[in-house]
Amino acid sequence: MTTKFTALAVFLLCFMPASKIEHTQASLLNTKKTNHEEAKLLTHINHDTDISFSSLSADEDKKKIKPIKLSANTEKKEEQSEKTNEKKETYSQSEKELLSRLVHAEAKGESYEGKVAVASVVLNRTDKKGFPDTIRGVIYQKNAFEPVANGSINQEPDKESIEAVEEAMSSKDRETEALFFYNPKTASDDWIRSRKIIEKIGRHVFAI
C-alpha cells in the first residue's frame, strides 16, 4: 500500500509545475522547522520552569528556617530571673544574738576559728533533715546543747563570738561540714563519741 502511495506521489510531482514543487518543499521544510523549534522551545520552557520552582523552593525553605535570636533585653531578663531564683539566707537580729550567746558559752577560751566552727555546726543542722530548720529550734532542741540546760546561754556574748557568728552567717562556705562537736576530755556521752570525727579545732573535735 505504501509503495503504491509513493508511486502516485512521484507521478503527480512529475506533472506539477516547478513553482508548485518548490512551494511544497518549502512547506515541508517549514513544517519540520516549526516542529523542531516548538520542541526546542518546550525544552527551554521546562528547563526555566524547573529552575524557577527550584529557586522558589529554596527561598521558601530559607524563609521557614530562621535562626531565633534573643534580644539583649531578653537575655538580661533571663539572667536576672536566674539570680532571683537563687536561695538567699537571711537571719534576724534575735537569731544572731541567740547564736552568739551559744558560741560564747560553748567555745569560751577557743580560737576565733573554733568559734566560727561552732556557729557553723548550728547552721549546718538547720539545713539537715532530722533537725529543726531554724536557729532557735536547733539550739533549744531537747538535750542538744549543755549551755541551754545549765543556763549559761543567757550570758552576754563577747565581741569575738559576735564577729564569729556574723562570719559564719555571711560566708558562702561553712567553716566545717560537721553536725556535732564535743570536748573529748570532758564528754561522757557514749553516743556522741560514736560519731565520725572529721576534724579537730582547738579542744573540740567535729563530727558527722
CATH code (residue 182)? 1.10.10.2520
Residue spans of beta strands (DSSP E) within the chain: 180-182, 197-201, 204-207
Confirm whether 171 is domain-assigned: yes
pLDDT for 114 equals 98
pLDDT for 128 equals 95
Round to whole Å and give the CA distance between 178 and 191: 15
Confirm whether 161 is domain-assigned: yes
Confirm whether 144 is domain-assigned: yes
pLDDT for 51 equals 43
Q: How many domains does the chain have?
A: 1
- Domain extent, residue 134, equals 93-207
Residue 142 and residue 192 in contact, taking contact as beta carbons nearer than 8 Å: no
pLDDT for 119 equals 98
Mean pLDDT by 10 residues, the chain (208 residues): 53 50 47 48 48 47 50 49 50 97 97 98 96 97 95 97 97 94 94 96 97
Confirm whether 128 is domain-assigned: yes
